[in-house]
Amino acid sequence: MKKPFYQLQQKQDLIRQFTPNWFTVTMGTGVAALVLAELPFANGALWQIGAAVWQFNIGLFAVFSVLYALRWLLYPDEARQIFSHPVMSLFLGAIPMGLATILNGLLKFGAALYGDTAVQIAQLLWYADAALALLIAWCVPFFMYSRQQHELKSMTAVWLLPIVACEVAAASGGLLLGHMDAGLHAAGILLGSYVLWGISVLPAFAVLTILMLRLALHQLPPKEMAISSWLALGPVGTGALALLALGQHAPQVLAAIGLQALGELFQHAGIFAALLLLGFGLWWLGIAVLSTLSQLKGLPFNLGWWGLTFPLGVFTLAMLNLGQQLQIGFFCSAAYALGAVLIGLWLMVAYQTAKGCYRGSLFFSPCLKAYLEQRSS
């Protein structure tokens, strides 16, 4: 058997070639753990498996964080080239979204396993996650406008990544409220989460509009970016999930500060808007499936395949939450079916990623390549 990372020219390339798109692995693995815990009969073995996957995901996030921090410490000039790269810089948004899945797992699994301490840690992580998501939502688009060169023909749904992190934090805020006492603190998180939703969803819809124009004028993206079509499902599913999670707790949270009527409005408006968003998401899901099938032959594997997991996962969780709030079994059944598909896709992508990681073939930094070519010319 060959040694690990045998395709890397040098062992230090494990750090030198490490890029933030690896954090999409934690996004997909984290949402798979959350979906496992929601499937039928999840009170037993599936819940335990979901908890184990969540704990494994914490380890992945820690390892990836160390590797990326080491890259900045050991190769700072090369690491900062990411801000000028028109594609890789967008994956900085995967870092807070990966962290959000750990936060959500603390509320789903940690509260049962570790008690109130898990909820307290989740509160601290939520503030850190929201701050990081907001920083990336400002800075990465600014770099796009000031440092990078973009063309409509090369545009893909990856543009959404730095923006969507804020609405993922908003959804986490809604889940966190279910473990807090009503009061000023909870009301602050509720209203702040709605602001994060607005920061994210409205620009995301602008990007989706540009994406539809790009697809109409230039057809499907190249095969190496084919899976990016699934990313369009992300802001729609997460946007719906955030509205449902926040609206579910809005009446009791706002009642504590004398705004019960407003809380009830938020709840009802959230359900209505989520229903519309899920309809829009269903359209994007169909487009993503057709796009993938049309390019399936000879489709090369890369870390972009993790785009099959997180968007579908949040869409599934949103549909399940809607079905539970409305007590309509059809939505729950559809969500369970999508959840089973998600777990199958996650297993497939995780297996291919493990193989590529062992070989070392997935460690490649396009911004480093461009930097070295520029220096040699």
3-class SS of residue 150? coil
The reply to whether 375 falls in a domain is no
Looking at the domain assignment, is residue 1 inside a domain?
no
> Is residue 197 predicted with pLDDT exceeding 70?
yes
Structural domain range at position 195? 13-368
User: pLDDT-based confidence at 199, cuts 50/70/90?
Assistant: very high
Contact predicate 226/284, CB 8 Å? no
Report the percent of the chain where pLDDT is more than 70.
Answer: 100
- As a whole-number percent, the residues of the chain with pLDDT over 90 amount to 90
What's the number of CA atoms in the CB half-sphere (13 Å) around residue 37?
A: 20
Buried b / exposed e along 211-238 (16+ C-beta atoms within 10 A) = beebbeeeebbeeebbbbbbbbbbbbbb
315 is a domain residue:
yes
Asked whether residue 117 is assigned to any structural domain, the reply reads: yes
102-107 contacts: CB < 8 A, separation 24 or more? 102/26, 102/30, 102/54, 102/57, 102/58, 102/61, 103/129, 103/172, 103/176, 104/30, 104/34, 104/171, 104/172, 104/175, 105/30, 105/33, 105/34, 105/54, 105/57, 105/58, 107/175, 107/176, 107/178, 107/179
Assess whether pLDDT exceeds 70 at residue 42: no
Task: Give me the helices (H) in 106-180, please.
Answer: 111-114, 116-146, 161-177
Q: Predicted confidence band at 45 (pLDDT cuts at 50, 70, 90)?
A: confident
- pLDDT of 351 strictly over 70: yes
4 part of a folded domain: no
pLDDT in tens, 101-134: 999 999 999 988 998 899 999 999 999 999 999 9
Q: Can you tell me the distance from the alpha carbon of 118 to that of 122, in angstroms, rounded to the nearest whole number? A: 6
Closest CA to 307 of 96, 36, 27, 18: 27
In a domain, 374, yes or no: no
**Average confidence score pLDDT of the chain:** 95
How confident is the model at residue 376, as a pLDDT? 82
Long-range contacts of 355-359, Cβ-Cβ distance < 8 Å, separation of 24 or more = 356/301, 358/4, 358/5, 359/2, 359/5, 359/6, 359/7
Q: What is the mean pLDDT of residues 334-345?
A: 97
- Asked, for residue 377, whether it belongs to a domain, the answer is no
Confidence of residue 373 (pLDDT cuts 50, 70, 90): confident
Report, as an integer, the average pLDDT of 151-172.
97
Query: Does the pLDDT at position 41 exceed 80?
Result: no
Asked if pLDDT for residue 70 goes beyond 90, the answer is: yes
Looking at the predicted structure, is the pLDDT value of residue 186 above 70? yes
CATH number for the domain spanning 188: value is: 1.50.10.150
pLDDT for the residue numbered 374: 86
CA 83 to chain CA centroid, Å, is: 20
pTM of the model: 0.96
Residue 116 CA: distances (Å) to CA of 3, 67, 108, 356: 44, 31, 12, 39
In a domain, 8, yes or no: no
Domain tally, the chain: 1
Name, in order, each residue with C-beta under 8 angstroms of 265's C-beta and a sequence gap of 6 or more. none
User: Residue 11: its pLDDT value, please?
Assistant: 87
**Of the candidates 280, 90, 242, the residue with the CA atom closest to the CA atom of residue 166:** 242
Higher pLDDT, 376 or 81: 81
What pLDDT was estimated at residue 1? 74
Q: Using CA atoms, how far apart are residues 114 and 117, in angstroms rounded to an integer?
A: 6
Asked if pLDDT for residue 2 goes beyond 90, the answer is no
CA distance 220 to 299: 13
In this predicted structure, what is the pLDDT of residue 3? 86
